[in-house]
Structure 1
Amino acid sequence: MHNPNQVRYKKWVAGLAALIAILPVLSACSFGSKDNPNERRTLRIGMAYGSKDSEEYYRRDLTDMFELTHKNIDIEFVNAIDYSDMQFATEEERKKAQQVDPNEKLRGIMTGDNPVDVVLTDLGSLSKLVEDNLLKPLDPYIKEDKMDLSDFLPNVLDAIREQGNGQLYGLSPTFYSSALFYNKKLFAKANVNPPTDGMSWDDVFTLARSMKSGTGKDAVYGFNLSSWGGGLNYYDVQYQYADPLKLRMFDAAGEKMTVNTEQWKKALSKPFNLYKDHVMPHPEDFQNNNNDGRYNPYQNRPFFQGKVAMEIGGYYNVNDLIAYNKNVDKMKGAEKLEWDVVTLPSHPEAQGGGNIGLGSLLVINAKGHNPKDAWEFIKHYNSEEVAKFKARSNSELSVRQKYIKPKDGENYHVEAFTSVKPGSYARSDADVKLYQERPNLNMIQEIGQIYFQQATEGKISLDDALAKWETKGNDLLQKIKLNPTGDLNAEMDSLRQESMGGMSGERAMVRAAAGG
C-alpha cells in the first residue's frame, strides 16, 4: 500500500516543479513584458547639448522605431545644456554661459536625483566618462544576449575599445568618413598612375604636382583640399590635414604663443606652397562659370567640372557624383565623370585622418535607474533591423559590413571609406577648463586664419603670417588673461578690416562667394 503522506508529498513536489517552470513566463508577463502597455516605464536619454527644437530630429533618428515595438516605454530627452536658454540672452549672459563646463553639466544629469539612463556622446568624450566610472561596460550584456558583432567593422569597434581600456562601453550604428576622390580620365590622359590606398600626404602632394597642366580655360589642377570652390582656407588645412599632428597654438597656461616654430612651418608650408604654385585652384579661376544663366548646383565645385585631378571629400560626395552624372545632359558643356576613391592620406608620424568619426554613440549611465531598458534600447538601435534603414543614408555608412556596398549599382572602391580608423582629437581636461575660464581664447584661431588668408593672397609670406600671428596672439593672450570675458570685438573687427583692405571689390566678392 502507498503511504498517503508520500502520495501527498509527491503531488506537492510535482506542483512546485510546475510552478517553478512557469515562473519565468509569469515574471516576463508581470515585470518585463514589452506587450503590456499598462506597465509603463520611462527611459531617460541624456545629451550634452540640445533643445525642444532639436528633439523632433532625435526622436525620428533615435527612438521612433524603438517606441513602435516597446509600447510600454516612454522616452524622455534631457539636455545638460539647453540651447533655447540663450535665445533671449544678453551678450554678458552668453559669455557667462561659455564659461559653464559642459562636462560638469553632463555629469549633473548622470548623477543627480533622477539620473538619465542612456547618454548620447562622442568618441572624444568616451574615455573621460569611463575614467570617472560613469558608464556600464556593454560586454556582459552582449555576451548574455549573444549579440553577434562579427559583422561590425573591426576598425570601429577597435576605436571604441581604445577609449574604454579594452572594453566596449558604447555602440554606434553608423560612422562618417572622408576619402581621396580622383578623376580617372584625367590620370589616363596624362599617362600618370592614379593614387592608391595608404598614401602619405607627401605622396599625394607630389602626385598633384605631376597632374598640374595648362593655363586659363585649359588648366587642370592637381588637388583641392575641399569639394567647394577654389582657394586655401585655414580651417580646411587645420581640419583635414593638420589635426592629427596635434599642434598647439599656445602653451598650456594660455600665456605664450607656440605657432612660430619649425613644426608649424612644416605643416602649413606644404599645402601653402601647393596653392602658391597654382597646383590647387584659386577662387578667381571659376568666377565666370555661369552656364548661360541656368542654375548649376555644381558650378562652384571644380572637381565636377573635370578641372581637378584629386580632392578630399566626405561620403556625401558619392551621392553628389552619382546625381551629377545622371543629370549631366542638363548642364551645357558638362561631361560625365569617371571617378573613384582611395583612402585618406595620412602623416607617417601621426596615423589617422580628419573628418572620420562615429555617428550616434550610445552608452549606459552607471548611475541610471533603468539599465535593463537602456541596454534594450542600445541593442535595438544597433540591430540589423535598424541597420537596414540606416544604410540608406547619403552622409554616413553602416558599421555592419554587409550593408557597406557601392550605391545605386555603381562600381567604386567603397572600402576606401572603411579602412581608416575613426580618430579622437578631443582637448585635454586642462585645455577644456582653460577655454571655459577664458572664452575669448577662441579668437586666437581666427587671428591665424586672417594672417594665413593674407599669405594665400600674396600680401605677406607664410613666415610673416606666423610671426604676425605670434605677435598679435601674445598681445591678445595677455589681455584675455587679465580680462577673460572682456569685449575684444572692436579689436578683432579692426583686424578683420585690415585683412579685407587692399583687396579689389571684385576679388572680395569672389572670396566671399568661395566662403573665405
Structure 2
Amino acid sequence: MNRVKMGLGAGLAVLLLTSACSSGKQGAADGNKAEAEKPKEPYTMKILANGVKTEEFEDRFRELLKQKFPHVTVEYSPGGKGATINDMIASGTIPDIIRTDVPTLVTGYLDLGLGYDMRELVQKHKYDLKRFNNVFIDEIVDVVRTGELYGLPVPPYFPQALYYNKDLFDKFGVAYPKDGMTWDELYDLAKKMTRVDGGVVYRGFSSHPTNLLRDNPYSLPILDPNEDKLANPERWTTLFNNLKRFYEIPNNKIESTATLDGQAFAKGNVALMTNQHSVYLVLPPELNWDLVSYPIMQDAPKLMPQRGPAYWSISKTSKHKEEAFEMIMAMLSDEVQMEDSKKGITTTLASKDVQKALGKSHPIYSKKNMDAINFYPPIPYTPKRKAGLTDIPGVTQQNLLSQSFVDVAMGKKDVNSALRELDEKLKAEIAKEKSK
C-alpha cells in the first residue's frame, strides 16, 4: 500500500513537474508572442522626393508603405518653392529619406552634412546589391571614390531610343526602321523621308541634341576628368559631325533651340526622332508612333546610351535610419519594380523578367515595341572629375554643349570653331567657380 502511495506520489510529482515545466515554456512562448504582437511605437517618416509629383508617389508607394508600416505616418514632399532641402534645413524639418541624383549628390546632399553611408545597413540586412544593374551602383559609389554608398537606385532611368511616325512611312511607302540599325542606315532613311509633298515640308529627322550628346555612345564626359578643359576634342568632333549631317539634308533644318527640335516630332511632320524613353515624354494621342533601338556607331560599343536614375538616400540626421532603410527596400522590391515596369517605368534591376514586362499594362506602351528599350544593355556612366579639381554644374556644361552644336547645325559656326569656343567657355566657368 505504502509502495503504491509512494508510486502515485512520485508519479504525481513528475506530472506536476512536467506540467510546471510545460507551463513555464508556454508562459515564455506566450510572453514572446505578446511581445511580438505588441503595437509598434508610432512615428512620422519624412520623405523628400524632389521633382516627383505627389500623385506619382501616391500611385507607386503610398498603399505599399501603409500596409507594411501601419504604425508609421509618411509625410511626403515633392519639393519645389519653399520646400527645398535648404528650406527644410532652415526650418529644422530635415527629411529622413531624400531622393538624390548623381549630378547634385555633392552640392545638394553631402555638402549639407546629410550624407549617410548605407553600407552598414546593407551588411546588417544582407541586402544583395547585385540585384541592381551594376552600372547604377558603380556610378553613385564613384562620386566620392572612397567606397561609401550614399543611395540605392530608384526607377526610372532614361534610355535613348529611336521613335518613328508610322503614318508618314505608310504615306511614302517606305519600310519601317528596325532594331539594331546603325547611324549610317538611319541617315539614309532620314534622307528618304525628308521631302516636300503637296507644299508641306516633311522632315526626315529630329533629335534632342542636349541629351543625345550628353548621353553619348562613348560615355564621353564634357569636361575632362583630369584637366581643366574640354574632354577629348577629337571624339567630340566625331559626335558633332555624325549629327550635323542630318541637319544638312535639304528641308531638314534644325529648330532654333535644342528643346524646340526635341518637340518637333510631336507635331506630326517629322518621320524620325532620337530621344529618351520616359514616362514623362508625352506624345499626342493622334500621333501613330512606334520605336526601335537606338542606332549604333560603328566604332562605339553595342550598348544603349542612358541617363542614370535617381537614388533613395538616408539623412545622417534621421532618428529612424533602420526603418528608413526598410522602407527603401520595400519601395525597391521586385514586386514594386515589376508593377513599375508594367506601367512603362524602366527598372533599375538586372532582372530580365522585370525588364521584359516594360509597358505591358500601359494603355499606349502595351501596343509599342518596348523590347527596343532593352535591345542593348545600358552603357557605363561618364567618368567623374578627379578629386580636388574644380567642377562645373552638369546643367551648365550640357547647356554650353548643346548650344555649341545648335550653332553648328544652323551654319553659324564650323565644328572646329564651335568646339574651340566651347573649351574656352568651360575654362571661363571653371575660373568663376574658383573665384567664389
Indicate the residue corresponding to 2:363 in structure 1.
408
Give the whole-Å Cα distance in 1 for the aligned partners of 2:430 and 2:137: 41
Give the whole-Å Cα distance in 1 for the aligned partners of 2:394 and 2:435: 8
Aligned pairs for 1:366-515 (under 5 A) are 370=320, 373-382=323-332, 390=340, 396-397=345-346, 400=354, 402=357, 404-405=359-360, 407-408=362-363, 411-422=367-378, 425=381, 428=384, 430=386, 434-435=390-391, 448-470=401-423, 476=428, 479-480=431-432, 484-485=435-436
Give the whole-Å Cα distance in 1 for the aligned partners of 2:245 and 2:340: 41
Give the whole-Å Cα distance in 2 for the aligned partners of 1:134 and 1:376: 13
Give the whole-Å Cα distance in 1 for the aligned partners of 2:386 and 2:368: 44
Segments of 5+ residues of structure 1 without an aligned counterpart are 31-35, 88-97, 112-128, 144-148, 227-232, 285-297, 326-336, 486-516
2:181 to 191, 199, 206: 199
What is the CA-CA distance between 1:442 and the residue it aligns to? 7.4
Q: Are 2:202 and 1:220 aligned?
A: yes
Q: Which amino acid aligns with 1:262?
A: E
Q: Which amino acid aligns with 1:105?
A: D
* Alignment CA distance shift 1:313-1:300 (3 Å): closer
Give the whole-Å Cα distance in 1 for the aligned partners of 2:383 and 2:42: 41
Aligned pairs for 1:28-427 (under 5 A) are 28-30=36-38, 36=39, 39-43=41-45, 60=58, 64-66=62-64, 68-69=66-67, 70-75=69-74, 82-84=85-87, 101-102=107-108, 104-105=110-111, 108-111=113-116, 133=119, 136-137=122-123, 140=126, 157=133, 159-160=135-136, 170=152, 172=154, 174-214=156-196, 217-226=199-208, 233=209, 235-240=210-215, 242=216, 244-250=218-224, 252-254=226-228, 256-258=229-231, 261-278=233-250, 280-283=252-255, 301-315=263-277, 320-321=282-283, 323-325=284-286, 337-347=287-297, 348-358=299-309, 361-362=311-312, 370=320, 373-382=323-332, 390=340, 396-397=345-346, 400=354, 402=357, 404-405=359-360, 407-408=362-363, 411-422=367-378, 425=381
1:347-395 Cα deviation digits (max 9, x unpaired): 452444444443x6436789976565335423442457756975686x7
Give the whole-Å Cα distance in 2 for the aligned partners of 1:159 and 1:479: 32
Q: Which amino acid aligns with 2:345?
A: E
Asked whether the 8 Å contact 2:303–2:376 carries over to 1, the reply is: yes
Indicate the residue corresponding to 2:100 in structure 1.
none
1:406-429 Cα deviation digits (max 9, x unpaired): 632762212223444455636525
Q: Which amino acid aligns with 1:396?
A: I
Give the whole-Å Cα distance in 2 for the aligned partners of 1:362 and 1:22: 39
Give the whole-Å Cα distance in 2 for the aligned partners of 1:383 and 1:405: 19
Q: Which amino acid aligns with 2:241?
A: S
* Alignment CA distance shift 1:159-1:135 (3 Å): farther
Give the whole-Å Cα distance in 1 for the aligned partners of 2:332 and 2:261: 39
Q: What RMSD over aligned residues (CA atoms) do the two structures have, in Å?
A: 4.9
Give the whole-Å Cα distance in 2 for the aligned partners of 1:364 and 1:85: 15
Q: Which amino acid aligns with 1:269?
A: N
Asked whether the 8 Å contact 2:121–2:322 carries over to 1, the reply is: no
Higher helix content, 1 or 2: 1
Q: Which amino acid aligns with 2:122?
A: K
Asked whether the 8 Å contact 1:159–1:421 carries over to 2, the reply is: no
1:440-462 Cα deviation digits (max 9, x unpaired): 99766655555444333323322
| TM-score, normalised by the number of residues in structure 1 | 0.59
- What SS class does the counterpart of residue 126 from structure 2 fall into? helix
Asked whether the 8 Å contact 2:342–2:361 carries over to 1, the reply is: no
Indicate the residue corresponding to 1:6 in structure 2.
14
- What SS class does the counterpart of residue 245 from structure 1 fall into? coil
Indicate the residue corresponding to 2:93 in structure 1.
none
* Alignment CA distance shift 1:28-1:5 (3 Å): same
1:492-516 Cα deviation digits (max 9, x unpaired): xxxxxxxxxxxxxxxxxxxxxxxxx
Give the whole-Å Cα distance in 1 for the aligned partners of 2:111 and 2:238: 39
Identity %: 17
Asked whether the 8 Å contact 1:196–1:343 carries over to 2, the reply is: yes
Asked whether the 8 Å contact 2:169–2:193 carries over to 1, the reply is: yes
* Alignment CA distance shift 1:461-1:431 (3 Å): farther
Give the whole-Å Cα distance in 2 for the aligned partners of 1:141 and 1:299: 43
Give the whole-Å Cα distance in 2 for the aligned partners of 1:265 and 1:15: 83
What is the CA-CA distance between 1:191 and the residue it aligns to? 4.6
1:118-140 Cα deviation digits (max 9, x unpaired): xxxxxxxxxxx57xx46515973
Asked whether the 8 Å contact 1:179–1:341 carries over to 2, the reply is: yes
1:146-199 Cα deviation digits (max 9, x unpaired): xxx9xxxx8x6454566689x9x8463655444211123433454543222233
Asked whether the 8 Å contact 1:274–1:280 carries over to 2, the reply is: yes
- What SS class does the counterpart of residue 417 from structure 2 fall into? helix
1:29-57 Cα deviation digits (max 9, x unpaired): 13xxxxx36x2245465x6x86xx98967
Asked whether the 8 Å contact 2:212–2:275 carries over to 1, the reply is: no
Give the whole-Å Cα distance in 2 for the aligned partners of 1:220 and 1:313: 19
Q: Are 2:17 and 1:15 aligned?
A: no
Give the whole-Å Cα distance in 2 for the aligned partners of 1:301 and 1:365: 38
1:46-101 Cα deviation digits (max 9, x unpaired): x6x86xx98967974776435533332244679998243899xxxxxxxxxx9974
- What SS class does the counterpart of residue 179 from structure 2 fall into? coil
* Alignment CA distance shift 1:216-1:251 (3 Å): farther
- What SS class does the counterpart of residue 363 from structure 2 fall into? helix
Q: Which amino acid aligns with 2:360?
A: K
What is the CA-CA distance between 1:12 and the residue it aligns to? 2.2
* Alignment CA distance shift 1:354-1:312 (3 Å): same
Give the whole-Å Cα distance in 2 for the aligned partners of 1:446 and 1:171: 25
